[in-house]
Amino acid sequence: MSKDSNPLKGWRVDRSAIRHLGVGLQRPECILAERDGTIWTADARGVMRIDADGAQTLVRQRGVADRSLTAESAVLGGSLPNGIAFDRDGNIVIANFGTDAIELMTRDGQLRTLYDSVDGQPLGKTNFVLCDRRGRIWFTVTTREVPWTKSINARTADGYVGVIDERGIRIVADGFVGTNEIRFDASEEWLYVVETNARRISRLRVDDDARVSAREVFGPSDLGGFPDGFAFDAFGNLWITLVLTERLVALTPDGELLTLLDDGNPAALASYEQHYADGTVTPELMGACRGTLAPMMASLTFGGPDLQTVYLGSLMGTTLPSFRSPVAGLAMSHWRPG
C-alpha cells in the first residue's frame, strides 16, 4: 500500500459497534490474544483466561494470597500482575507491579520468581514484559522511587529497559521518564518505548546481541496526553492508548497523529493537566479522569483469526471493550502459523 491508502485515514471507532468481553475483571491492564480465540488478561487476582466461547477461568498464582484491588493496595504493594507475555514454551511471563519482580507462571498457576534484582539492586517498579522471536525477555521498570507515585510529579528519569537471556539479566538502556510498554517493529530492528510521564515515545535500534543504539524520540515530542500502551498494525501505524486523556490515537508512518476514539472527560482532564504542570497530582485526580468505555484506558492488542479485532485494556474497567479494525495488527512473536 502507498501511504495515501492508509486505512486509518478518515476512519474512527464506531462506538455503537463496540462489544464487551469478560465480566467482573479486576484491572485488566494487559491483554494477550491467541490464534484459537483465547484471550488472556492480567487481573489483580492473577491472570484471567477467556475462551472463544466466553467461558472465564481465573488462573491464580499458587502461593499468592487472594486479594481485591483497592487504590491503597495499588500503591503500597501486594501481588499485582501488570504486563504479561508468552515465553517460547507458552508459559506466562509477568511483570508484577506489586512485588517488583519478573515472574514466570505456568498456565495452571505454578509460579516462580525469575528476578527481583539487577546489579545487586532491587529491580524497582516492574511494568511490562515482551518476548522476541529469539526467546529473549525484554522488560521495563517505570521507576525506582518509593513510593512509585512520587515519580509522577517529579518526572523522575530513572526508568529503564532490561533484557533476560542465556547470559542472565541486564539493563540495556536507562534514563526514561515513566517507562511503560515496549514493542518491536516487524523486523525487530527497532524497540519502541513508552515514556508516560514525558508524554512521548522513544525508540532504540537493537542488534543481534541485544545491544541498543541510535536512541531518539519517535513522533511528536508531546503526544498531547499520557501514552500507556501501544501496538503496531500491519500497515505500520502505531496505535497508542492515552491514559487519563482516555483517547485512542494512531501515529502514521509519515508522522501524522490520528484520533481514533475519544472517551475523555474534558473538565477532569483540564484539572489534572494543571496539577500535572504544578507537580501536585494526587490519585483522586487521576481517578476522576476515567472514561466510560475502558476506564483509565491503558493498553490494546489485536486478535481474532485475522488480527482485525482490537481489545482495550484498562486500570479501572471490568470488561474488555472490542471492535473491528480496518487493518490487521502486526502479529506478535507467540502468534503461531495457522
Q: Does residue 331 form part of some domain?
A: yes
Chain segment 131-183, per-residue pLDDT in tens: 999 999 999 999 999 999 999 999 999 999 999 999 999 999 999 999 999 99
Scan for cell 500507556, then name that residue.
228
Q: Sort 215 into a burial class: Cβ within 10 Å, 0-12 / 13-18 / 19+.
A: middle
Whether residue 100 is predicted with pLDDT greater than 80 in this model: the reply is yes
Q: Does residue 50 form part of some domain?
A: no
Whether residue 70 is predicted with pLDDT greater than 90 in this model: the reply is no
The pLDDT value recorded for residue 63 is 63
Q: Does residue 29 form part of some domain?
A: no
The pLDDT value recorded for residue 269 is 94
What is the number of structural domains in the chain? 1
Q: Does residue 1 form part of some domain?
A: no
Chain segment 23-43, per-residue pLDDT in tens: 999 999 999 999 999 999 999
Q: Does residue 293 form part of some domain?
A: yes
Q: Does residue 297 form part of some domain?
A: yes
The pLDDT value recorded for residue 68 is 52
The pLDDT value recorded for residue 78 is 83
CA distances from 12 to 137, 240, 247, 254, 261 (A): 34, 14, 12, 19, 6
The pLDDT value recorded for residue 75 is 46
The pLDDT value recorded for residue 61 is 79
Whether residue 200 is predicted with pLDDT greater than 90 in this model: the reply is yes
Whether residue 302 is predicted with pLDDT greater than 70 in this model: the reply is yes
Whether residue 71 is predicted with pLDDT greater than 50 in this model: the reply is no
Mean pLDDT of the chain: 93
Three-point CA angle 37, 192, 45, nearest 5°: 45
- Domain limits for position 237: 229-338
The pLDDT value recorded for residue 249 is 98
Whether residue 121 is predicted with pLDDT greater than 80 in this model: the reply is yes
Whether residue 102 is predicted with pLDDT greater than 80 in this model: the reply is yes
> Phi and psi (nearest 5°) for 169?
-115, 140
Q: Does residue 238 form part of some domain?
A: yes
Q: Does residue 211 form part of some domain?
A: no
Grid coordinates in use for 121?
539492586
Find the range with the poorest average confidence among 56-70, 77-91, 303-317: 56-70
Q: With contact defined as beta carbons under 8 Å apart, do 138 and 162 qualify?
A: yes
What amino acid is encoded at 174 in this protein?
Answer: D
